[in-house]
Amino acid sequence: MDFAPVRGSRRPTPAAKRTLIPLKILVAGGFGVGKTTFVGSLSEIPPLSTEQEMTSLSVGVDDSAAVPDKTTTTVAMDFGRITVDDQLILYLFGAPGQNRFWFMWDELARGAVGAVVLVDMRRADDCFAAIDYFEDRRLPFAVAVNQFPGGPAYPEDAVREALALPPDCPLVRMDAREIRSSLDTLVILVEHALARSAHAGAH
Amino acid sequence: MTDDDYGWRQGDRLVPAYAFTQGRTRTEGQELPLEALVTATELAVQNLPTLQVERGAIVRMSMRPTSVVEIGAALHVPAGVARVLVSDLASAGFLAVHLPQTTDGVGGPGQEILGRLLDGLRAR
């Protein structure tokens, strides 16, 4: 520690005494599918971006010893915040969808309420990796087909079949630019997570 | 919210990010989740004038509940650096840390919290 000795009260401030509970929901999907738009439509703070280190594990070779000033590579990730009530604060993380970012997802998925998988049906393949990931980890997720203007409206059955969705997985058609539409999507995900949790508790 | 709320602007960084943390990007023991919330303690408020600029900025941000990820973004440092700074301040008694409450440390929140989240989202 590099702090000088300090005097004073260790009593918490009023904010520190409050019971505060952070929550998180992941927003996954392929590049350009609308993750940033979705997070931005819901966030009470201007959408921000954080840099997350890519670990030596994920880049394959640890050459940090040879290059002491450049220990890690970083990748940007969007996030937003919703103050739910006086105790609960929900964070939304827009997670990059490519396989090489899985190392970030393991940390992000830990303790998460669930995930919204955003899909552009013109590039449906982009979301398969995310769907497989959440199924494997048994993280509750909802699939949200982001309707792009002028795009075709695919029938629900066709979408479910094309994406090989589990029967209980919620599927919504939405517009990530509209706060109401994005909020409804979150509500549907949380209803699903609660139902799963209640079901698990009953057995 | 602007960068000015924390008393500095983008580009104001005085030393390289990793110098704040003596080159560490990992904390000892359990890593703080990105969404972990912190709040300034009275001790921090009393000692604010003595704190190094980055640490003072974190304490000022934490006058209202703020997460590790928000601190990293505001200071323009990677999340791992924010984690180390926050952990050090918490160890010194300057920040209270509010961790996620999950059912078993790995799974999601319990039903009571999920129910409150649902109510809160529906009310918006």
How confident is the model at residue B90, as a pLDDT?
95
Task: Quote the longest CA-to-CA distance of chain B.
Answer: 46
Are A96 and B121 spatial neighbours (Cβ–Cβ below 8 Å)? no
How confident is the model at residue B38, as a pLDDT?
97
pLDDT over 80 (residue A158): yes
How confident is the model at residue A100, as a pLDDT?
67
pLDDT tens for each residue of chain B, 124 residues long: 444 444 444 444 444 445 445 555 554 445 799 999 999 999 999 999 999 999 999 999 999 999 999 999 999 998 889 999 999 999 999 999 999 998 765 678 999 999 999 999 999 9
Chain A interface, mutation test: which of B86, B117, B118, B124, most A Cβ atoms within 10 Å? B117
Confidence of residue A186 (pLDDT cuts 50, 70, 90): very high
CB contact under 8 A, A85 and B120: yes
A173 or A103: which carries more pLDDT confidence?
Answer: A173
CB contact under 8 A, A194 and B106: no
Cα gap A63→A56, rounded to integer Å: 8
Looking at this predicted complex, what is its ipTM? 0.83
pLDDT over 70 (residue A12): no
Contacts of B103 in chain A (CB under 8 A): 197
Count the alpha carbons within 13 Å of A192 in the hemisphere toward its beta carbon: 24
Whole-number mean pLDDT of chain A? Answer: 82
How confident is the model at residue B65, as a pLDDT?
96
- Residue A119: what residue type? V
A150 or B8: which carries more pLDDT confidence?
Answer: A150
Contacts of A11 in chain B (CB under 8 A): 41-43
Cross-strand partners of B37: B67, B98
Kindly list the distances between the CA atom of residue B41 and the CA atoms of B6, B52, B93, B106, B118, in Å, as whole numbers in the listed order.
17, 17, 7, 28, 31
Cα gap A97→A129, rounded to integer Å: 8
**By CA distance, what is B83's nearest residue in A?**
A52
Cross-strand partners of B32: none
Confidence of residue A10 (pLDDT cuts 50, 70, 90): low
